[in-house]
Amino acid sequence: MAAKDLKPLGVEQLYHRCDLSRFGFRSTADLSPDFSALGQERAMDAINFAVGMPHPGYNLFVSGSTGIGRRELVARTINERAAKGEAPLDWVYVHNFERSHEPCMLSLPQGLGRALSRDMQKLVEQLLIQIPATFKSDDYRNRVQELTDEFEQREENAFKGLGEKAHEEQITLMRTPSGYTLGPLREGKLMTPDQFKALPNEEKERIKAALERLNAELTSLVRDLPKLQQEQREAIKALEDEITHSIIDPALSVLREKYGAQTEVLTFLDQVHQDMIENVDDFFAPEKDDNAKTPLHKLAKSDAFRRYHINLLVSHDNDGGSPVVVEDIPSYQNLVGRIEYRSSFGTLSTDFSLIQPGALHRANGGYLIVDAQKLLTYPFAWEGLKRALRNHEIRIDPLEKMYGISGTRSLEAEPIPLKVKVILIGERRLYYLLKAYDPEFSSLFKIYADFNEQLDRSRENVESYLGLITQLVQEEALAPFTLTGLERIVEQSSRRVDDSAKLSLNRGQLVDLLREASYCATQVGASEVDAAHVSRALKLARTRSAQYSELMQEQIERGTVMLASSGAAVGQGNGLTVFQLGDQRFGKPARISATARLGSGKLIDIERETELGGPIHTKGVMILANCIGARYARNAPLSLHASLVFEQSYGMVDGDSASAMELCVLLSAISGLPIKQSFAVTGSINQQGEIQAIGGVNEKIEGFFELCRNRGLSGDQGVIIPKTNVDHLILDQEVVTACADGQFNIYAVSTLDELISLLFGREPGKADDDGRYPPASVNGRVQQQLLDWTEQARKLSGKSEQ
């Protein structure tokens, strides 16, 4: 096809406008917000399926690009589902009175966990008042005194009888500091040793016999005295037990009646009852420690009564529905819980009250949402989550156990049964890596929800998209957007996805543009946002990130970076590149040059040889090399030695979007025919010589236009793009205006021959049945030069053999 037959694209092809006039509204004030998951029907179906599936293993992995709104839509769906879910249980840990290092777990209906904790606190406070008060009462003292008097009377009566019998024998029974003793009497007084010696022998023998007999009875009485004292102590203890029961039993009966339906709680209360009876003296500890001034609630929480406390691990306080937990720091301990320690004089200790819950505890019976990237960065967090899901229980193990380190003896808390839906949110790369390298992943996360990034720009979808914009405008309290402002928003949405037939679903970028456009409107006192304000916001965003682009443009204009935008040259041409810096990207032209000479068919990619070329760029060069052989040397060896390079590039070069221009530059070097420098070309090529679509077409065109505009538009300058990229054009208005005025041109081609006719300004030439091209054509010149080199190589080879 001749160059004259190729026409520049029309203005309507350069900017695919959005016409909203047929919708019949004036601004977003006339529209209703749309809260649906626009364009995400597939992902939402997967989410609803996962949360509705009652069987284990149907946990969910959600992926999609940042800014799509994954978290918002997932949270909204999960919260709606959770609001209709079953009320979760309360979970508490209590002291194990038989094995203190193995705390017991109790599950209670929603709200009863906190109630039980308060009731046990009140019980201890109540007993701290009642028990000391009762044992200090006059009634208790009188009853103790009665028992004491009774046993003293029994002791006195026993010794009184012995005393009377001794008195008949002229012997007295006396109480001494060390006990009781017997002694003979004379005239009513205790006989002295001298008086006893002066007695007749017969009297002495009588007294001795009486003393021996009475002493035997005294010994018997003294031997029975400890038994009597023991009976006294037992009687007093029985009294104390009776009074203790009279205080504790009614108090615990109230709790037993309140929690009668909870078997586990009743068992715990039985153990508490037995322990309180056995350790009633603990309730006198404050008095012994002279802590009378200490507030009662603090005394009740002291270490002495810790075993009666309730460690309320999770309580939902009748908030209704199933819990939804979003864990932002998914470390191992934050997920499965931890056991804390207290330090005292350099010694670490712990008990059931120091068990702290994790996200799995709080989400039990509901839903847990976790960022997959963060989860995988914390040691043992992923393994801990998998173990909990696999075993359907939450077992709290300290990290030193996970590391295999033996340290301070810790608790072995009873595991809590687990029923939860886990939603991981992460990149697609993470999903497929886990799918490939973790055998357990597929069995635990069976559902995959992949969020879409774009949707068709159909009338129905545009209407829904306007509803989404209206929703965001209302949520952000922005100024209303007029018809023209919305048209500009929709057009920019299509540009973000490089396709005029699509709309971007990136909510983050959309809401940023809405905010910035509304700000631009308010800065000039406008009450509504129109197209000018949106364009102003876009321009400011580009300007904020344009420093590097301007520096590159300055180097081109000053000649530091050599680029021609007029004339013609052999073996060089203008390719187009795209730079991505953060959210902003821009295009710049780059000179591509080639050399060709007689050789053995080798094509050197200098970028690859210097390890500055990426694999896709290398692939493009290999394709164009084979395209040359297929077109021009089908029946002869390719006696060519050529090289290709991006001039003055000092970083990585990747992508195949310059392969069409590289091929034309190489054809120019082979044929010696010059290429028009007023054109820049983008597009990849296949082995059949077809021009293929590329990305960033708008930025590439605008990058070359900027160079030509700054140097002065001549009307001959332009950009050649693949025809398949025409639907992607949404160019800056300045470029469209220049094209409409004939100062700049954009051509679309689909074959190499069309590209040749534009660049060389000559007929490309069509091959005959033998594969020969017309000698005067571009293809013919290339083919003839390759044949000449082949003949020359044959001659040189023959001479060398001689």
For a pLDDT cut of 70, what percent of the chain falls above it?
90
Pairing state between β 347-349 and 342-344: antiparallel
Higher pLDDT, 716 or 184: 716
| Confidence at residue 288, expressed as pLDDT on a 0 to 100 scale | 47
Does residue 801 carry a pLDDT above 60? no
d(CA 29, CA 88): 42
Does residue 444 carry a pLDDT above 90? yes
Is 563-797 a domain of CATH 3.30.230.10?
yes
d(CA 352, CA 92): 10
Domain boundaries along the sequence of the chain? 36-88+321-452, 137-276, 454-544, 563-797
d(CA 755, CA 759): 6
Which residues pair with residue 596 across a beta bridge? Answer: 642
pLDDT band for position 800 (50/70/90)? low
Size of the chain, expressed as the number of residues it contains: 802
Q: Which of 676, 610, 675 is nearest to 643 (CA)?
A: 610
Mean pLDDT of the chain: 87
d(CA 379, CA 358): 16
The residues, ordered by sequence, that sit 6+ positions from 9 with a Cβ below 8 Å of its Cβ are 726, 729, 739, 746, 747, 748
d(CA 102, CA 314): 19
Please confirm, yes or no, whether 588 is among the known catalytic residues: no
b (16+ CB within 10 A) / e for 145-163: eebeeebeeebeebbeebb
Same-fold call for 36-88+321-452 versus 563-797: no
Q: What is the CATH number of domain 454-544?
A: 1.10.8.60
pLDDT band for position 221 (50/70/90)? low
For the full predicted model, state whether its pTM sits above 0.75.
yes
Does residue 706 carry a pLDDT above 70? yes
Please compute the mean of the pLDDT values over residues 297-312 and round it to a whole number. 83
SS3 755: helix
Does residue 184 carry a pLDDT above 50? yes
The residues, ordered by sequence, that sit 6+ positions from 795 with a Cβ below 8 Å of its Cβ are none
DSSP string covering 510-542: HHHHHHHHHHHHHHTT-SSB-HHHHHHHHHHHH
| Confidence at residue 745, expressed as pLDDT on a 0 to 100 scale | 96
d(CA 180, CA 159): 9
Q: Is 572 exposed, middle or buried (0-12, 13-18, 19+ CB in 10 A)?
A: buried
Helices 752-760 and 778-801, packing angle to 10 deg: 100
For a pLDDT cut of 90, what percent of the chain falls above it?
54
| Residue 113: Cβ within 10 Å count | 24
d(CA 556, CA 706): 11
Task: Give me the torsion for CA of 22, 28, 30, 31, rounded to 10°.
Answer: 80
| Residue 291: Cβ within 10 Å count | 13
Q: Per the residue annotation, which of 353, 502, 700, 777 is the catalytic one? A: 700
| Confidence at residue 299, expressed as pLDDT on a 0 to 100 scale | 78
Q: Which of 753, 756, 679 is nearest to 718 (CA)?
A: 679
Please compute the mean of the pLDDT values over residues 163-174 and round it to a whole number. 67
| Confidence at residue 87, expressed as pLDDT on a 0 to 100 scale | 83
Does residue 404 carry a pLDDT above 80? no
Please confirm, yes or no, whether 386 is among the known catalytic residues: no
| Confidence at residue 225, expressed as pLDDT on a 0 to 100 scale | 65
pLDDT band for position 193 (50/70/90)? confident
Does residue 169 carry a pLDDT above 70? no
Please compute the mean of the pLDDT values over residues 39-63 and round it to a whole number. 93
Higher pLDDT, 304 or 483: 483
Q: Per the residue annotation, which of 549, 657, 659, 684 is the catalytic one? A: 657
Does residue 244 carry a pLDDT above 80? yes
Lowest mean pLDDT among 166-180, 369-383, 716-730: 166-180
Q: What value, to the nearest 5°, has the Cα angle with vertex 364 and ends 363 and 365?
A: 110
Distance set, CA 425 to CA 79, 380, 434, 441, 542 (Å) = 16, 19, 13, 14, 31
- Fold type of domain 36-88+321-452: Rossmann fold (3.40.50)
pLDDT in tens, 333-374: 999 999 888 887 777 788 888 899 999 999 999 999 999 999
Give, for 157, the enclosing helix (H) or strand (E): helix 138-168
3-state secondary structure 76-143: HHHHHHHHCCCCCCEEEEECCCCCCCCCEEEEECCCHHHHHHHHHHHHHHHHHHHHHHHHCCHHHHHH
3-state secondary structure 692-720: ECCCCHHHHHHHHHHHHHHHCCCCCCEEE
Please compute the mean of the pLDDT values over residues 652-666 and round it to a whole number. 92
pLDDT band for position 592 (50/70/90)? very high
SS3 507: helix
Alpha-carbon Rg of the chain, whole angstroms? 49
Q: Which amino acid is at 101?
A: H
Pairing state between β 572-581 and 679-681: parallel
Phi, psi of 95 (to 5 degrees): -70, 140
Lowest mean pLDDT among 265-269, 545-549, 582-586: 582-586
| Confidence at residue 802, expressed as pLDDT on a 0 to 100 scale | 47
| Confidence at residue 3, expressed as pLDDT on a 0 to 100 scale | 58
